[in-house]
Structure 1
């Protein structure tokens, strides 16, 4: 079946068909993400529909199953699925109604209050990083051994170097090599967000006020999420984060986290550059925070 164009009219029709009690709420586009479109539904709800990758269907079901379990234990708001709708003739893929989380994505409005932001991020990840139960979702490579991503890192670093997008490729490579040489995680598989880049964390008044897009929710090595200290916080605030996070990350975890930050930053730089050139799938706002991440990592090399 051909995927229909997603419009406000389609959203209203879908609601009339399957959730008529919500059909009279005002509908307006909220955001177009990598996998999904998000449409505001009144003041407090949102409709999230997959529009790009086929894997988005599975990710929506995963969020519907697990986020209501996790949300009550987290100190920041997250989008909590309220209803899951199965494919229909009108729209051939599942979609969900969730709570709306207000705030501005950090790729557009970076955190500026370093201490508050570091403490808020540390409190959120301390609360999230609890042992996951058996049956927790797999991570599509997130939270596993960092070395599994060596080929992708090498390809992205080579492409970014060829395009003259990073000033010191050797320094970036040194951070990556040190990270992959660190001992692997041997603790329990912890709950992870799995994709804490700036577009998935919301800000207000200079600090963090919400976390969205849990499509990569999984269990594994917390270093995957701790990488956000270099991607989201103002310069010099990573140390404050490490002091506030519990239990305090050991040296090996911090090293692995720096490697995850390199990997995410390289992807962000390439996606940002594609957006600057107007290419499909590009997001120009992803470039500056990714560049800042690499600058912080190479400036603090060895920490």
Structure 2
């Protein structure tokens, strides 16, 4: 489980960012500081002038990502077909804020909502192109999957107890027998391949588009070196029909990798559903649909 940040959002606001920048990067102290329009949970991000951002972790569990991204994004970027965040500086704790933070270049584009994508099949192929390029990056010295990646890139077995608890809690809300079959197939399909780079959170909010096309991939906080199965969950979360099939063919993974990918999707959707099934009808419906699709996918391809 991801910890809840203190003060809801770690007490981070524009005034704090302004003080941190003035103290540690005085050359940028005259620049405006304002929240980004679409923010994440792990970090708070602020526009710094027109060409930069300041990105601050909201809790201690997200701190390892700062040094990891700062070290590895510049190394990975030249081998990737789409832009990734440029690293311009690393900040230190200060002004009452307890964690390291970073300054990055601003990437133009909007998050990949369906209505912003010109052609979903072409977009699926672009995502596949990015993932294949990432998997071909040199892994020498790269961070092996583990706590820093929230165990993305490792076996989904790390979440076995949590998943089975969610399945039991959702009896009557989902087909628990079929869900258990999908989960056990994911655990049985042990990964034995050579470790490769994975992103860990390939989802609409971390994919930027401009003029209908993929232009950038952001938020490598859960990235690392290990099993790429976790990066395939977008097949159900974003794609369907022709676009899903195009993505499936383009990434070219074996049956075991797809089985583990279904496990990753199932774990997350069960977890979210168990927390909102009686409180958020819209969110519950989304996750029930995802679960139903991955159960059917297992029966067709598993």
Paired residue secondary structure (2:60): coil
Using the TM superposition, give the Cα deviation of residue 108 of structure 1 relative to its aligned residue in structure 2, in angstroms: 8.1
Deviation of residue 193 (structure 1)?
Answer: 0.8
Offset at 1:215?
A: 1.0
Deviation digits for residues 111-151 of structure 1 (CA, Å, limit 9, x no counterpart): 57321121011101000113511352433222122333211
| Partner SS state of residue 302, structure 1 | helix
Please say if 1:45 is aligned against 2:52. Answer: yes
The 1-side partners of 2:168 and 2:113 are apart by 24
What SS class does the counterpart of residue 17 from structure 1 fall into? helix
CA contact (8 A) 1:139 1:216 kept: no
Is contact 1:62-1:137 (8 Å) kept? no
* TM-aligned CA distance change 1:126 to 1:265, over 3 Å: same
C-alpha contact (below 8 Å) 1:111/1:233 kept by paired residues: no
- In the TM superposition, what is the alpha-carbon distance from 1:222 to its structure 2 partner? 1.2
Residue 71 of structure 1: how far off its partner (Å): 1.5
Gap change, CA 1:90 and 1:178, over 3 Å in 2: closer
**Contact map agreement 1:258 1:297 (CA 8 A) in 2:** yes
Q: Tell me which residue corresponds to 1:254.
A: 258
Structure 1 109/63 Cα, relative in aligned 2: closer, same or farther at 3 Å? farther
2:168 corresponds to 1:158: yes
Aligned counterpart for 1:118 among listed residues 121, 124, 136: 124
SS in 1 for 2:63: helix
Q: 1:255 to 1:111 in 2, by over 3 A?
A: farther
CA distance in 2, matches of 1:289, 1:50: 28
Structure 2's unaligned 5+ residue stretches are: 1-5
Change in Cα spacing, 1:289 to 1:276, as seen in structure 2 (3 Å) is closer
| CA distance in structure 1 between the partners assigned to 2:73 and 2:261 by the alignment | 24
Q: Which residue of 2 aligns with 1:215?
A: 221
Distance 1:99 1:233, change over 3 A: farther
When structure 1 is superposed on structure 2, of 199-208 and 214-223 the one drifting more is 199-208
Residue correspondences, number? 288
The one of 232, 244, 269 equivalent to 1:238 is: 244
The answer to whether the 8 A contact 1:139-1:217 is kept is no
Residue aligned with 2:300, SS: coil
Whether the 8 Å CA contact 1:112–1:207 is kept in 2: the answer is yes
The residue number in structure 2 matching 1:296 is: 293
Closer, same or farther in 2 for the Cα pair 1:42/1:21, shift >3 Å?
same
Q: Distance in 2 between matches of 1:275 and 1:22?
A: 44
Residues 81-121 of structure 1 deviation map (CA, whole Å, 9 limit, x = unaligned) = 21001112442221101122333334786857321121011
Identify if the C-alpha distance between structure 1 residues 15 and 64 changes in structure 2 by more than 3 Å, giving closer, same or farther. same
* Aligned partner (choices 65, 75, 82) of residue 76 of structure 1: 82
Given that residues 174 and 288 in structure 2 are in contact (C-alpha distance below 8 angstroms), is that contact kept between their aligned partners in structure 1? no
Residue 7 (structure 1) aligned to one of 13, 16, 30: 13
Q: 2:109 aligns to what?
A: 103
CA distance in 1, matches of 2:275, 2:111: 16
Equivalent pair of 2:20/2:94 in contact (CA under 8 Å): no
Match of 2:185 among 178, 188, 203: 178
Tell whether 2:70 aligns with 1:58.
no
2:143 corresponds in structure 1 to: 136
Deviation of 1:295 after TM superposition, in Å, equals 3.4
* Alpha-carbon distance between aligned partners in 2 of 1:70 and 1:287, rounded to the nearest angstrom: 37
| 8 Å contact from structure 1 (residues 105, 202) kept in 2 | yes
CA contact (8 A) 1:110 1:232 kept: no
